[in-house]
Structure 1
């Protein structure tokens, strides 16, 4: 087994944030895991679930940190499982993309996203894979924080669970 990927769903740790736009990465990874009883490792840094895709080991991480310090959780598991930076896949929300649209980037800046800022600060690199899920930008200037921390409405949540997660899964398969 030479290939292994760390796939991280960005989101805040507190249950009050569970169904917010900012936790869309975590919601997607929760859906991708399939078997919630198959915990590979659980500690203060987060929970790892393991799956295989042919000869590739997929380690799905649900970090147990807030967004602005999430890089610490990722780095812990990154080192523990000896992951190559090219095999780090971050799934996160993006306000600059229309809701439900997906964009894959290999390199780039944080775009103001606190989770991506934390990762870049912790790793001192920005050449990891990002799967960005659009949450739109239906807010007035200055209300970005309030917008990303609002709950996702039921119609968008259904779309997320019935269609978007499949699109993300296909992107992951294309990457690996």
Structure 2
């Protein structure tokens, strides 16, 4: 085995948040592991699903932690699987990118994203791979929290599953 990666879709664990803009990363990971009944590990920190892509082991994390503490869960699994932060791929929402677009970043600031802040605070670095999925910023000043926690409409959900999913999948393949 040449490589291993931990792939984490940021999102909150509670079902009331499942189809919100802020959980778009977790929705993509759910799609990536769809039909995969191969749970590698499960505990209070989350569930790990494993897949192989040629010589690379992909560990997909569905964390049980809320966004503002997700760094704790990620640290646990990086340690458990003896991985470095360079083997971490984060998939998350981004209000600064137009909906339907994605952006690969190898490092950078949190942009106010609580999940990214948690990771940066936990590891004391912003030097890790992230695939940012645009959710747009169609909200009035002061309504950002309400906007990101609103449900995704069916049209946007179709775009997510039929376009964005493939873009993210291709980015992952290019990274590994």
CA distance in 1, matches of 2:82, 2:126: 18
Give the drift of 1:87: 1.2
Tell me the alpha carbon deviations over residues 40-82 of structure 1, each in whole angstroms, 9 at most, x when there is no partner. 1111001100000000000000111110001000000010001
CA deviation profile, 1:81-127 (whole Å, cap 9, x unmatched): 01121110000000000001000000111000000000000011111
Q: Provide the alpha-carbon RMSD of the alignment.
A: 0.7
Structure 1 runs, 4 residues or longer, greater than 4 Å off: none
Equivalent residues in 2 for 1:18-97 (5 A)? 18-97=18-97
Q: Structure 2 regions of 5+ residues with no counterpart?
A: none
* Residue in 1 that maps onto 2:106: 106
> What is the distance in 2 between the residues matched to 1:54 and 1:76?
26
Gaps of 5+ in 1: none
Cα distance between partner residues in 2 of 1:36 and 1:64: 19
Q: Residues of 1 paired with 2:40 and 2:25: CA distance?
A: 20
Q: Secondary structure at the match of 2:147?
A: helix
Aligned-partner Cα distance in 2 for 1:100–1:62: 23
Under a length normalisation based on structure 2, what TM-score does the superposition of the two structures give?
A: 0.98
Bigger mean CA offset, 109-118 vs 83-92 = 83-92
SS at match of 2:77: helix
Number of matched residues?
A: 176
TM-score by length of 1: 0.98
For 1:124 and 1:161, how far apart are their aligned partners in 2?
Answer: 33
Q: Which residue of 2 aligns with 1:17?
A: 17
